[in-house]
């Protein structure tokens, strides 16, 4: 887990910054999804007790490496691009599985590894906003995991316990890796975590200092609701490409938010008027890609 970067660095097409997760997938009926208390089609951050409770209620599962940004980087590599990834894991079996899978998919990854003193609380409450995960201060952290309930129409409902991913800080962002990227891809989910937010700002600064572009994924409608003001502010100077998953990811809520009290550079402007490309993607549920041992829907 401590392999160094290549001695002779080469340019990268994309470097993703996100939460390394191991996905735990199972099919579920509408009643089973409702019984969990999760909102169908959304992602909620949960504490460890909640994660264990949902896992216990799931049917037969498949465990695979995942995470939004990590999956995206695996997709870039599968399409012939050169990709890297930035994210924090624990020195545990799930962390080793994640490192193996993302590297075997062709993605460059030199992991930041959480130490026991990095112990922190994962954001979690009913709608995924910040809260306490019940972990003792300084307690050892495990690699993050995402419980994925897949309904009959292939819609995913996710409960995520971020674990070690919550401890990423600006010091964990390798400037030499990020500087090599034409595009730095940021996972919107990470904006829920103050230290991770600063890590993302560092990645944006390094990218722009080296003539790279910055892409931000809106990730989830609840994520957009929580951070409307900040996401709009980022479109003024920091983000070059905004990735929106059609209605699921709530671009409309950005455009419909009250602009009078936003950043002066955003006031009286819609997203279409800002100096950023807005890319809206719609899932084709018949087209799938494979990452490591996992199967996901391409966009």
Asked whether residue 249 is assigned to any structural domain, the reply reads: no
Asked whether residue 255 is domain-assigned, the answer is no
Which helix (H) or strand (E) element contains residue 51? helix 48-57
What average pLDDT does the segment 98-125 reach? 78
- Is the pLDDT at 233 greater than 50, yes or no? yes
Residue 114 located in a structural domain: yes
Q: How many domains does the chain have?
A: 1
Q: How many C-beta atoms surround the C-beta of residue 287 within 10 A? A: 9
**Domain interval for residue 198:** 12-217
Judge whether residue 232 has pLDDT over 70.
yes
Read off the tokens for 84: 């890297």
Do 177 and 73 contact (CB within 8 A), yes or no? no
8 Å CB contact between 30 and 212: no
Whole-number percent of the chain with pLDDT over 90: 46
User: Does residue 264 belong to any structural domain of this protein?
Assistant: no
> Residue 43's domain is classified under what CATH number?
3.40.1190.20
Residue 89 domain-assigned (yes or no): yes
Cβ–Cβ under 8 Å, residues 297 and 280:
no
pLDDT at position 123? 37
Distance of CA 181 to the CA centre of its chain: 18
Residue 272 included in any domain? no
Task: Please state the rounded mean pLDDT for residues 276-295.
Answer: 44
Task: Give the Cα separation of 168 and 172 in Å (integer).
Answer: 6
- 69: CB partners within 8 A, 6+ apart: 16, 17, 18, 19, 85, 87, 185, 186, 187, 217
**Dihedral angle of Cα 44, 49, 50, 56, to the nearest 10 degrees:** 130
Please report the pLDDT score of residue 279 as a whole number: 56
Tell me whether residue 295 is in a domain.
Answer: no
pLDDT tier at 139, thresholds 50, 70, 90: very low
Q: Is 278 contained in some domain? A: no
Average pLDDT over residues 38-56: 87
**Is 294's pLDDT higher than 60?**
no
Q: Encode pLDDT of 169-186 as tens digits.
A: 999 999 999 999 999 999
10-24, 135-149, 183-197, 264-278: which range is least confident on average? 264-278
């Amino acid at each position: 887990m401590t392999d160094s970067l290549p001695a002779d660095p080469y340019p990268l097409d994309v470097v993703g910054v996100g939460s390394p997760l191991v996905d735990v997938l199972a099919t579920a009926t509408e009643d089973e999804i409702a019984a969990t208390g999760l909102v169908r089609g959304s992602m909620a951050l949960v504490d460890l007790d909640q994660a264990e409770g949902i896992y216990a209620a799931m049917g037969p599962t498949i465990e695979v490496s995942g995470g939004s940004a990590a999956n995206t980087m695996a997709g870039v590599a599968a399409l012939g691009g050169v990709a890297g990834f930035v994210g924090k894991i624990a020195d545990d079996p799930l962390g080793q599985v994640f490192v193996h899978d993302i590297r075997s998919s062709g993605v460059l990854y030199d992991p930041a590894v959480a130490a026991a003193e990095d112990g922190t609380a994962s954001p979690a409450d009913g709608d995924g906003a910040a809260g306490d995960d019940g972990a003792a201060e300084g307690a050892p952290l495990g690699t993050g995991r995402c419980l994925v309930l897949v309904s009959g129409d292939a819609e995913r409902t996710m409960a995520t316990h971020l674990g070690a991913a919550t401890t990423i800080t600006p010091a964990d962002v390798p400037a030499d890796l990020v500087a090599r990227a034409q595009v730095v891809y940021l996972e919107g989910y990470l904006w829920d975590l103050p230290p991770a937010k600063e890590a993302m700002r560092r990645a944006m600064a390094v990218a722009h200092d080296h003539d790279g572009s910055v892409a931000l994924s809106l990730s989830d409608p609840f994520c957009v609701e929580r951070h409307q003001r900040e996401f709009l502010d980022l479109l003024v100077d920091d983000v070059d490409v905004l990735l929106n998953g059609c209605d699921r990811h709530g671009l409309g809520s950005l455009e419909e938010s009250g602009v009078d009290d936003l950043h002066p550079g955003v006031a009286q402007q819609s997203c279409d008027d800002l100096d950023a490309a807005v890319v809206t993607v719609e899932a084709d549920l018949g087209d799938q890609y494979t990452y490591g041992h996992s199967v996901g829907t391409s966009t």
